[in-house]
Amino acid sequence: MLSSRSRRTAKEADDHPDEVLALAVELIDTALANIDADRSGVVGVGLGIPAPITRDGAIGSPALLPAWADLRPGEELSRRLALAVRVDNDANLGALGEYVWGAGRGCADLVYVKLATGIGAGIVLDGRLYRGAAGTAGELGHVTLDARGAVCRCGNRGCVELAAGGRALLSHARLSHPELTDLEELVSYANDGDPGCRRLIIDAGTQLGVALGGLVNLINPQRIVLGGELGAAADLLREPLQRGLGETAMAAAVRAVDVVQAELAGQAAALGGVALALGVDAVPLAAA
Ligand SMILES: [Zn+2]
């Protein structure tokens, strides 16, 4: 890596596509200037969006990102940069990044789980990213755990995200720790031994395992890679997650799968974007 720039958005990014895309352009230009380069030397751009993306680059599930619903983010960024842009769901890019450069190297059948504000998964099958007919493959956060549960932002009830997503965990944790600013802080409290934060993460692990069990039964992956901010609590999540898996997946499938922590931390999706821009997702890689 020659140069990298990132910034936390001042406004809630979900609601302000125009500002977010303008910021992306600014960061790209700054990253290029930092190595005395400019846009003329750019081979391609990869863009990650936290919602399903259809084959033609539209937002596949407008309910999850209403302010972006009428936009084709890849085309819009391409217009602003005058460069070729490829776009995909951010969990798919996380899967691709970990598969090419991280904890998924050499593993042709893997599930990357992005545990962040929301929950998403990226699926690599036979060495290729699997997106599905409408781009919604791997929408683990919207698997139903409780068909009579609370209504989720996707419109269904009792989704995994309501029980184990970062938004839910933070709002529960703030009842006893009103000072918590974000998910990273919640994880560091838990890793430092705070009993309430540990409890929340352990329970989330069990719920995730239960939900992942269906996926493990259906596609029989070799590895599950835990990423996103909550992936930093993988040591705490692993055991309850395995227990949840054990309750819902077949024993042979559970024995065949390793649960590991992501290696690329916050850069998995960005590096997946690089792989996407280079066209790596279309060609199976030889096992490393
Ligand atoms: Zn949902």
- Ligand 1 geometric centre to CA of 166 (Å): 13
Question: What's the pLDDT at 64?
Answer: 84
Over the range 119-128, which residues count as b (16 or more CB within 10 Å of their CB) and which as e? bbbbbbbebb
Task: Name the stretches of the chain with pLDDT < 50.
Answer: 287-288
Are the C-beta atoms of residues 223 and 258 closer than 8 Å to each other?
Answer: yes
Question: What's the pLDDT at 283?
Answer: 64
Question: What's the pLDDT at 288?
Answer: 43
Q: What is the tens place of the pLDDT at every residue in 136-182?
A: 999 999 999 999 999 999 999 999 999 999 999 999 999 999 999 99
Amino acid at 249: A
- Ligand 1 geometric centre to CA of 211 (Å): 13
- Ligand 1 geometric centre to CA of 258 (Å): 27
How many Å apart are CA 28 and CA 49, to the nearest integer? Answer: 16
Task: Please give the structure tokens belonging to residue 26.
Answer: 């600014």
- Termini Cα distance of the chain: 20
Question: What's the pLDDT at 162?
Answer: 96
Question: What's the pLDDT at 286?
Answer: 55
- Ligand 1 geometric centre to CA of 60 (Å): 14
Residues 6 or more apart whose CB falls under 8 angstroms from that of 286 comprise: none
For residue 276, what is the enclosing H or E element? helix 268-277
For residues 111, 5, 166, 216, the Cα torsion angle rounded to the nearest 10 degrees is 0
Question: What's the pLDDT at 280?
Answer: 85
Question: What's the pLDDT at 265?
Answer: 86
Question: What's the pLDDT at 48?
Answer: 96
Gyration radius (Cα) of the chain, Å:
19
Q: What is the tens place of the pLDDT at every residue in 17-36?
A: 999 999 999 999 999 999 99
Residues 6 or more apart whose CB falls under 8 angstroms from that of 37 comprise: none
